[in-house]
Structure 1
Amino acid sequence: MKKFIRITLVVLVLLGAAFLMFRTPDTDREAMIAKYGNEASQFLDDGNGGQIHYRDEGNKDGPAIMLIHGANSLLQTWEPVVGLLDDKYRMISVDLYGHGLTGPNPTGNYSADANIAAIVKVLDHVGVDEAYWVGNSMGGWLTWRGGLAVPERTAGLVLIDASGAQTDEQIKPYLGARLAQSAIGQLLLPEITPRFLVKSSLEENFAQPERLTEELVDRYWELLRFPGNRQAAVDRGKADREPEKWADVGTLKMPVLLLWGEQDKVIPLSHGKAFEAAIPGATLISYADAGHLPMEETPEQVARDIGNWIESVTSEEQAPN
């Protein structure tokens, strides 16, 4: 019995030492705002004690585009596309709850409805009644869910490697997602998030990892450790994704464009084809040289196709009956 107690104590000491050695503390909130905010960064009081970080850039007289990032991402993921379209379009981007400079939701609610409400709150605040919603991955899921929930606020939807399609295909989550889904990961990730883990996860999202810069890795790593974001990631993973809503996706009435990286290992192209089959009139465009984040890997193609599509939608709406 004494031997067992000694061994247990030794193990506990070793675990404690390992925790102290590998623990990665939160970054400083104000330092992150200074580093990753810019002149377009604004913070909106959500009425519940939270501050939603958003940017409202580009041509204020042009059609509005609402840009919605994916899980564990941030609004900066859209910067290349914003730079290519902001002369013609009003480009609004937002850090969702538990991401970027927004930080966690004080209510602990990470449901689709809570995020859609935050997006609509930003649109209300900047005075935009209707926008083209453009979303990647989880943001793509929120985009089509927004089309169902608040169709009057959506001129059209662009789903970029979007999640939410219910198919029989088994897909393997990237490393960070696998850890977040495990009990030990949920316990450790809010405290231990090594940079190599973030880099490895990003490499799995890129078709050509050499495009992944160290500066980009630092940005993801530092903002993941923005106070409260890591615990929010764990809490978000426990939220109900409501897979039954997939049955309603075919009722979307607004124009829908699907953009997909053919080398996406996170949400394969087959899911894009499932959306195409389920949504009447949807258009699918795929990119041979992109993975899960085409707007970061091949922004020129993404910006071109979004711009051309909005022009075609606008032309059709203005055409005489």
Structure 2
Amino acid sequence: MKKTIRIILLLLVLLGAAFFIFRTPDTDRAEMIAKYGNEASRFVDDGHGTKVHYRDEGNKDGPALLLIHGSNSLLQTWEPLVGLLGDKYHLISLDLYGHGLTGPNPNGAYDADSNIAAAVRVLDKVGVDKAYWVGNSMGGWVTWRAGLSVPERILGLVMIDAAGAQVQQKGQPYLGARLARSAVGQMLLPEITPRFLVKSSLEENFAQPERLTEELVDRYWELLRFPGNRKAAVDRATTPRQPEKWGDVGTLKMPVLLLWGEKDKVIPLAHGRAFAEAIPGSKLITYADAGHLPMEETPEQVARDIDGWIEGLATESVALSEE
């Protein structure tokens, strides 16, 4: 009995030592805001104790695009598109709860409705009544859920490798997401998040890993460790996604553009085809040289297709008004 107790105590000591050796502390909030904010960065009070970080950029007289990133991502994922479309469009991006410089939701809510409310709050703050909602991955899920709940705020939906389709072919979550769903990961990830874990997870999202720079890895790693974001990532991984809402996706009334990386392993192209089949009048465009993040891997193509699609909608509207 005494020997067993000694072994248990030794294991506890070793685990404690490993924790302190491998622990990666939070980054400093003020330092991160200074480093990753820019002249377009703003913060809006959500009414619940959190200040949501957003950027208000581009041509303020042009059509508005609301850009919504995916899980464990950041509003910076849209920087290539902002650079390509900024002369023509009003571009509004935000860090969802538990991401980037926004930090965690004090209520622990990471469901679609909470994120939609934050996005609407940002639109209200910048004075935009209706926008094209553009979302990637989890942000794509938030986008089509917004199409169901706040259609009056939406001109159209652009869903890029969007989550939420209920199809037989399942995706392969990247390493960080897999860990966040495990009991061990949920215990360790809020305190132990090595840089190689972030880099490996990002590599699984890219079809062209050579596009993944060390600077980009550092940004994801540092902002994942923004105070409260790691605990939020664990909480978000266990938040119910309400799969039954998939049955309503065919009722969307606004125009819908689907953009998909053909090499996406996280949310395979079969999901994009399911959306295209379920949503009447939707348009699906695929990219042979992109994975889960086409707006980062092939931004020129994505920008061209979004612009062409919106121009086409405008042309159709003019033609209908002249009939």
TM-score (norm 2): 0.99
Number of residue pairs aligned between Structure 1 and Structure 2: 321
Aligned to 1:294: 294
| C-alpha RMSD of matched pairs (Å) | 0.6
**For residue 310 of structure 1, what is the amino acid of its counterpart?**
I
Deviations 1:273-311 (A, max 9, x none): 000000001100000000000000110000010011011
Aligned to 1:50: 50
**For residue 71 of structure 1, what is the amino acid of its counterpart?**
S
| Residue 115, structure 1, aligned to residue 121, structure 2 | no
Unmatched 5+ stretches in structure 1? none
**For residue 183 of structure 2, what is the amino acid of its counterpart?**
A
**For residue 308 of structure 1, what is the amino acid of its counterpart?**
G
**For residue 43 of structure 1, what is the amino acid of its counterpart?**
F
- C-alpha distance in 2 between matches for 1:56 and 1:33: 16
**For residue 284 of structure 1, what is the amino acid of its counterpart?**
L
Q: CA deviation at 1:314?
A: 1.4
Aligned to 1:104: 104
SS in 2 for 1:156: strand
| Residue 180, structure 1, aligned to residue 180, structure 2 | yes
**For residue 31 of structure 2, what is the amino acid of its counterpart?**
A
SS in 2 for 1:290: coil
Deviations 1:83-118 (A, max 9, x none): 000000000000000000000011111110000000
- C-alpha distance in 2 between matches for 1:49 and 1:253: 34
Correspondence 1:136-285 to 2 at 5 A: 136-285=136-285
**For residue 57 of structure 1, what is the amino acid of its counterpart?**
E
- C-alpha distance in 2 between matches for 1:139 and 1:195: 24
The question of whether the paired residues in 1 share the 8 Å contact of 2:177 and 2:237 is answered with no
Aligned to 1:9: 9
- C-alpha distance in 2 between matches for 1:317 and 1:117: 29
- C-alpha distance in 2 between matches for 1:85 and 1:276: 25
Aligned to 2:25: 25
The question of whether the paired residues in 1 share the 8 Å contact of 2:97 and 2:110 is answered with yes
Unmatched 5+ stretches in structure 2? none
**For residue 79 of structure 1, what is the amino acid of its counterpart?**
E
| Residue 305, structure 1, aligned to residue 302, structure 2 | no
**For residue 184 of structure 1, what is the amino acid of its counterpart?**
V
* 4+ residue runs over 4 A deviation: none
Q: CA deviation at 1:208?
A: 1.1
SS in 2 for 1:26: coil
The question of whether the paired residues in 1 share the 8 Å contact of 2:255 and 2:281 is answered with yes
Q: CA deviation at 1:237?
A: 1.4
**For residue 201 of structure 2, what is the amino acid of its counterpart?**
S
- C-alpha distance in 2 between matches for 1:196 and 1:16: 22
Q: CA deviation at 1:318?
A: 2.1
The question of whether the paired residues in 1 share the 8 Å contact of 2:190 and 2:230 is answered with yes
The question of whether the paired residues in 1 share the 8 Å contact of 2:170 and 2:267 is answered with no
Give aligned-pair identity as a percent.
78
SS in 1 for 2:134: strand
- C-alpha distance in 2 between matches for 1:176 and 1:298: 24
Q: CA deviation at 1:171?
A: 2.5
Aligned to 2:78: 78
TM-score (norm 1): 0.99
| Residue 88, structure 1, aligned to residue 88, structure 2 | yes
The question of whether the paired residues in 1 share the 8 Å contact of 2:172 and 2:267 is answered with no
**For residue 16 of structure 2, what is the amino acid of its counterpart?**
G
Aligned to 1:69: 69
Deviations 1:66-99 (A, max 9, x none): 0000000000000000000000000000000000
**For residue 14 of structure 1, what is the amino acid of its counterpart?**
L
